[in-house]
Amino acid sequence: MGDHFVAHASLLLSSFAVLTSIASHCGIRIQRAKRMKTIDLRSDTVSHPTAEMREAMANAEVGDDVYHDDPTVNQLEADAAAIFGKEAAVFVTSGTQGNLCALLAHCQRGESIIIGDASHIFRYEQGGMAQLGGIIPHTLPVQSDATMRLCDLEAAINPDDEHKPVTRLVALENTHNMAGGVPISAEYTAQVAEIARRNNLILHIDGARIFNAAAAFKVDVQELAAGADSVTFCLSKGLCAPAGSILVGDRSFIRRARRARKVLGGSLRQAGVLAAAGMIALHKMRHRLVDDHAHAQLLAEGLSEIPGLVIKSQNTNFIFFTLADQVAMPLDDFVNRLRRDYNVFMSPYSGERGVIRLRTHYWIDRAAIAKVISAVSAILS
Ligand SMILES: *Cc1c(COP(=O)(O)O)cnc(C)c1O
* Residue spans per domain, the chain: 37-48+288-380, 51-285
**End-to-end CA, the chain:** 69
**How large is the average pLDDT for residues 81-102?**
98
Do 178 and 118 contact (CB within 8 A), yes or no? yes
| Strands 344-345, 112-116: pairing kind | unpaired
- Which positions ≥6 away from 70 have C-beta within 8 Å? 61, 62, 63, 64, 270, 271, 272, 275
d(Cα 283, Cα 277) in Å, to the nearest integer?
10
Least confident of 19-23, 209-213, 283-287: 19-23
Mean pLDDT of the chain: 92
pLDDT, position 277: 98
Question: Of 136, 253, 84, which is closest to residue 261 (Cα–Cα)?
Answer: 253
pLDDT bin (cut points 50, 70, 90) of residue 351 is: confident
Residue nearest to atom 4 of ligand 1 (CA): 95
Mutate to test the pocket of ligand 1, among 177, 182, 233, 264 (most ligand atoms within 8 A of CB): 177
Q: What is the pLDDT of residues 104-148, one digit of tens each?
A: 999 999 999 999 999 999 999 999 999 999 999 999 999 999 999
- Residue 234's alpha-carbon distances to 36, 127, 273, 329, in angstroms, are 25, 19, 16, 37
d(Cα 351, Cα 28) in Å, to the nearest integer?
34
- CATH architecture observed for domain 37-48+288-380: Alpha-Beta Complex (3.90)
15 C-alpha to center of ligand 1: Å?
Answer: 42
**Who wins on pLDDT, 21 or 80?**
80
pLDDT at 65 over 90: yes
pLDDT at 26 over 90: no
DSSP secondary-structure letter at 176? B
Phi/psi of residue 346, nearest 5 degrees = -135, 160
Q: What is the pLDDT of residues 220-255, one digit of tens each?
A: 999 999 999 999 999 999 999 999 999 999 999 999
pLDDT bin (cut points 50, 70, 90) of residue 301 is: very high
d(Cα 118, Cα 15) in Å, to the nearest integer?
53
Residue nearest to atom 2 of ligand 1 (CA): 208
User: From the CB of 94, is ligand 1 less than 6 Å away?
Assistant: yes
Q: What is the pLDDT of residues 157-192, one digit of tens each?
A: 999 999 999 999 999 999 999 999 999 999 999 999
51-285 folds as: Aspartate Aminotransferase; domain 2 (3.40.640)
71 C-alpha to center of ligand 1: Å?
Answer: 26
Residue nearest to atom 14 of ligand 1 (CA): 208
Atom of ligand 1 nearest to the CA of 245: 7
Do 370 and 342 contact (CB within 8 A), yes or no? no
pLDDT, position 344: 97
pLDDT at 18 over 70: no
User: From the CB of 292, is ligand 1 less than 6 Å away?
Assistant: no
Do 137 and 129 contact (CB within 8 A), yes or no? yes
Beta strands in the chain (DSSP E): 39-40, 88-92, 112-116, 136-140, 167-173, 202-206, 230-234, 245-249, 309-315, 318-323, 344-345, 356-359
120 C-alpha to center of ligand 1: Å?
Answer: 7
Task: Identify the three-state secondary structure at position 313.
Answer: strand
d(Cα 284, Cα 127) in Å, to the nearest integer?
34
**How large is the average pLDDT for residues 204-226?**
98
Atom of ligand 1 nearest to the CA of 236: 7
Residue nearest to atom 6 of ligand 1 (CA): 95
Mutate to test the pocket of ligand 1, among 206, 231, 317, 349 (most ligand atoms within 8 A of CB): 206
| Strands 356-359, 318-323: pairing kind | antiparallel
Task: Identify the three-state secondary structure at position 187.
Answer: helix
**Who wins on pLDDT, 119 or 19?**
119
User: From the CB of 70, is ligand 1 less than 6 Å away?
Assistant: no
